[in-house]
Amino acid sequence: MGPSKTVEICFVCLGNICRSPLAEGVFQHLVNTQNLQEKILIHSAGTGNWHVGAPPDARMGATAKKRGITLCSTAQQFQPGDFRRYDLILAMDRSNLQTLQYMCTPEVADRKLKLFRSFDPQSNGDADEDVPDPYYGGNSGFEHVFEIVSRTCPQILDYIKTRF
């Protein structure tokens, strides 16, 4: 069973070329396999504008492709007006969560903003709530992020199914 209304979600990281496009791609694949693509619309964005218009990082794309996930988003910057559009906004780390909180009222933040790893069944709380940014590291960082995202997305889908 899916949500009772159409739900729009957005995954947000810093530049929108690594973590959030991966979450968008993995979540889209999950939604498609459950035939919920008409009920759940998925997007990603960055809090920064450095990569606007760029495709996902090639290393993240290759990591996802090895697992049957295609990343096809184009980097965009999250704007304050986006809070009206999205029902759920998932920040990939605390720094981006804080940036998003500054862009909206506390009431909107309480209702719409969540930390991505707050849904991770293997998160250990405060010390382990950020999805690490693999951009400046080697391939193992991209693999690690894929593992985090792939185990967390089903939990987010369950949350959406029960809350919307």
- List the catalytic residue out of 10, 13, 18, 153: 13
Spatial separation of the C-alpha atoms in residues 27 and 52, rounded to whole Å: 21
Residue 14 lies in a domain: yes
**Which residue segment(s) compose the domain that 43 sits in?**
7-163
Residue 72 is a catalytic residue? no
Residue 136 lies in a domain: yes
Q: 2 pLDDT exceeds 80?
A: no
- List the catalytic residue out of 18, 19, 82, 104: 19
**Residue range 33-59: mean pLDDT, rounded:** 97
Residue 126 is a catalytic residue? no
Residue 1 lies in a domain: no
Please give the tally of structural domains in the chain.
Answer: 1
* Percent share of the chain, pLDDT over 90: 90
Spatial separation of the C-alpha atoms in residues 27 and 54, rounded to whole Å: 20
CATH at 116: 3.40.50.2300
Residue 13 is a catalytic residue? yes
* 100: nearest Cα among 26, 6, 20, 155: 20
Q: What is the pLDDT of residues 150-164, one digit of tens each?
A: 999 999 999 999 999
pLDDT for res 62: 97
- List the catalytic residue out of 82, 93, 130, 133: 133
* pTM strictly above 0.75: yes
pLDDT for res 128: 76
- How much is the mean pLDDT over the chain? 95
